Chain A
Amino acid sequence: EAQVTQNPRYLITVTGKKLTVTCSQNMNHEYMSWYRQDPGLGLRQIYYSMNVEVTDKGDVPEGYKVSRKEKRNFPLILESPSPNQTSLYFCASSFFEGGELFFGEGSRLTVL
């Protein structure tokens, strides 16, 4: 089944404890992206990648890092999480940067 898989789906952590949210797609997509969704603010792009080793900042990149060492994986790294990073995170992918976008199920992160 074609899908975008995120892990973990739910996570509660404490301020400053590094964490990684993994994202993997099995559709051979070149383009991948991370979003966060917050009430009243909608979906905002954090980072995106147009291909292996090519990443760039979205609208809200502060406090996040990404890497794209393999085509199928695009992990989101929070080096030192803070409470304002409590949010619902989505990974998405498409064949190319303007193509139909497919989303993962989301990862709900709470930072205490």
Chain B
Amino acid sequence: KQEVTQIPAALSVPEGENLVLNCSFTDSAIYNLQWFRQDPGKGLTSLLLIQSSQREQTSGRLNASLDKSSGRSTLYIAASQPGDSATYLCAVRPVIQGAQKLVFGQGTRLTINP
């Protein structure tokens, strides 16, 4: 059964720093991996989707990488801002369970201090 882990559970950094959030998964057979952000009491906003054949995706200050063989993905945030404070979740679609299944990590709660 696919498991997704995000460490650390919480992270606090000063404004302006570049930072990396980690996501690991146990089964490398995935269709794709998606990163989301969630603000308190709100829905999830899609940030980036990486297909299994891709190594990375970029959107503005965000860059997500995927290393299927090691079961890892990272989300790089450049020049962090207080508005980046949120919980970041990664989710994978395991081949063995079908593309309709999305397995989520528990998230990393990020705080950017002004």
Contacts and interface: CB of A to CB of B under 8 A. Distances in A.
A101 B46 contact: yes
A105 B49 contact: no
Contacts of B36: 103
Interface residues of A, number: 24
A42 B45 contact: no
B105 A90 contact: no
Nearest to B101: A45
A100 B45 CA distance: 11
Interface residues of B, number: 23
B34 interface: yes
Contact of B100 (A42, A43, A50, A106): A50
B106 A48 contact: no
A100 B42 contact: no
A98 B43 contact: no
A56 interface: yes
Nearest to B106: A42
A58 B102 CA distance: 10
Contacts of A92: 44
Contacts of B106: 42
Interface of A: 4, 31, 33, 42-43, 45, 48, 50, 56, 58, 90, 92, 96-106, 108
Given A100-B49, A103-B45, 4 more contacts: A43-B104, A56-B100, A97-B100, A103-B44
10 contacts: A33-B102, A42-B106, A43-B104, A45-B101, A58-B101, A90-B44, A92-B44, A98-B100, A103-B44, A103-B45
